[in-house]
Chains A and B, each alone.
Chain A
Amino acid sequence: MTTTATETSPTTPELATAIVTVLAEIRQVTVAELEAERTGGDLEMASPEAVAVIATLEHRFGRSLAQVDDLEPEQLTSVANLANLLHRRFPTAAPLSTRVES
C-alpha cells in the first residue's frame, strides 16, 4: 500500500468503490455482497466503520482527508455521504505526514 500522495483526485464513484472495498474488509464480507446491498441505493455505515475507512484511505492516498468537523457522526452515515465528503476534501488535502499528532 502506497504512502505517497497522488497528484490527481479520484472521482466520487472511484472513491465510493474504494470505500466499499475497505468496508468489506472491516465487515469481513466480500465486495460483491456489499455491492449487492448497495444496488439501487446507498449503503449505511456506523461512525467507527467510517473512521476506520477514512484512516485506511488516508494511508492509501498519503493525504489527510478528514478534518475535525468531518468526524461528527452526522457526517459519517453512508458510502455516498463519505464519498462526497472525501471528494470535496481531496484537492486541498495535506500530505499525511504533516498532520500534527496530539
Chain B
Amino acid sequence: MALFVEGENVSAAWVEGLERLLAAGGEAVNLTVAIADPTTEEPAVRSVVDTFIDERRRAGPRSVERISTVANTIFPQSLYIERLGEGAESHLYDLERRARRLTRVRNRQGTYFERMVAWPVEKPSNGQPAENFNQLDQAVTRLRRLRKQGTRRGNQFEIGLTTPADQAIAVPIVVPGRDRQTMGFPCLSHVSLSLQKGVVHMTAIYRNHEFIKRGYGNYVGLGRVLRFVAQQSGWPVGELTCVSASATVGGGAGFARGAVTELLDACRRAQKEAS
C-alpha cells in the first residue's frame, strides 16, 4: 500500500518519511513525499544525519555518501553564482562541461546533473557529430517565455523519456540501451516541472530509493534544481513531490534496525529541542 508523507521542509519530510517506513517494516511501494518548501532544512536534524553518515564513512569511506555529495550529483550548488543573475546559468553550464571528464573519474556513468544539462543525443545518420542536449536550459527558457507572455499556468511541460529534445521541459534521466543495471545509478527516472497559478512545482520519480543513504541528499539536490529553475525563469518556488516506486530504509553494515531507530529518535529529539 502506498505511503503519503507531508513536511514543511526537507528535514521534517524526511524524518516523517523515515518513521513511516520503519512502521511499515522498512520498505514500501509508492512512497510519496510532499515537501512544501524544499529549499529549507532544519539545521539540528541535518547535523544529526550528517553525524550518523560520517560515522559510517569512517568505517568504510564509500559505504555511504555524504548528504552534500548526494545533493551535488543532482545540483552542484557552489558552481551556481546567483548574484550573476541570468549569467549564472551559462557560467554553471560552462563549469559543468569543464569538470565533466574529471567528475566521471569518480562517477563513471556521470551524474544526474550531467544528464539534465548534457543529455546524450543519438548520433544522427547524416554524419554530423552528436550533440548533447541541455534539458534544464530548455525548461528555464520555456518558463521565461511564459512569464513574458503573462501566462501563469503550464502543464505542457509533462512528457515521457523518449523525446526530450523535441518536446520536453521535463528532465528524463534513464538512457535507454545504456542503463542496463538494475541496482545503483540511475535510480532517479524522471523530473517534471509544472507551472500552476504562477508558481513552479516539481515532481520527481525514483524507481528505487534507499531512504537513509540517498533520500535526504536527493531531496536537498532536487530542491536546489527547483530553486535554480524558478529563480532563472522569474517564478516563485513551489513544492517538491517525490514518488519512490520502491523505497527501503536501507541495509548493510551500520544500518541495522536498532541503529536506524536510534537515528530517528535523535532526529525527533533535535526537532523538539529546536522548537
- On A, residues with C-beta under 8 Å from B are 26-28, 45-49, 51-52, 54-56, 58, 66-68, 71-74, 99, 101-102
Residues on the A chain within 8 Å of B126, using CB? none
Interface centre among A48, A55, A67 (most CB of B within 10 A): A48
Chain B binding surface, main DSSP class: helix
Distance, CA A100 to CA B240, complexed state (A): 38
Q: Is B199 an interface residue (CB 8 A)?
A: no
Chain B residue at minimal CB-CB distance from A96: B101
Partner of B104, one of A28, A56, A102: A102
Q: Is the CB of A56 within 8 A of B98?
A: yes
On chain B, the number of residues with a Cβ less than 8 Å from chain A's Cβ atoms is 27
- On B, residues with C-beta under 8 Å from A are 57, 61-62, 66, 68-69, 72, 76-79, 81, 83-84, 91, 95, 98-106, 108-109
Q: Is the CB of A28 within 8 A of B81?
A: yes
Partner of B99, one of A46, A48, A74, A99: A48
10 A-B pairs, CB-CB below 8 angstroms? A27-B81, A46-B72, A47-B68, A49-B78, A54-B102, A55-B101, A55-B102, A66-B105, A67-B105, A102-B104
Partner of B78, one of A46, A58, A68: A46
Distance, CA A46 to CA B103, complexed state (A): 14
Residues on the A chain within 8 Å of B81, using CB? 27-28
B258 nearest CB across to chain A (Å):
27
Q: Is the CB of A26 within 8 A of B106?
A: no
Residues on the B chain within 8 Å of A68, using CB? 105-106
Residues on the A chain within 8 Å of B62, using CB? 72
Partner of B72, one of A28, A48, A55, A101: A48
Chain A residue at minimal CB-CB distance from B62: A72
Distance, CA A46 to CA B77, complexed state (A): 9
Distance, CA A27 to CA B76, complexed state (A): 13
Q: Is the CB of B61 within 8 A of A72?
A: yes
Chain A residue at minimal CB-CB distance from B65: A73
Chain A residue at minimal CB-CB distance from B88: A28
A81 nearest CB across to chain B (Å):
16
Chain A residue at minimal CB-CB distance from B66: A73
Q: Is the CB of A101 within 8 A of B69?
A: no
Distance, CA A102 to CA B79, complexed state (A): 24
Q: Is the CB of A73 within 8 A of B105?
A: no
Distance, CA A101 to CA B100, complexed state (A): 11
Distance, CA A68 to CA B107, complexed state (A): 9
Residues on the B chain within 8 Å of A56, using CB? 98
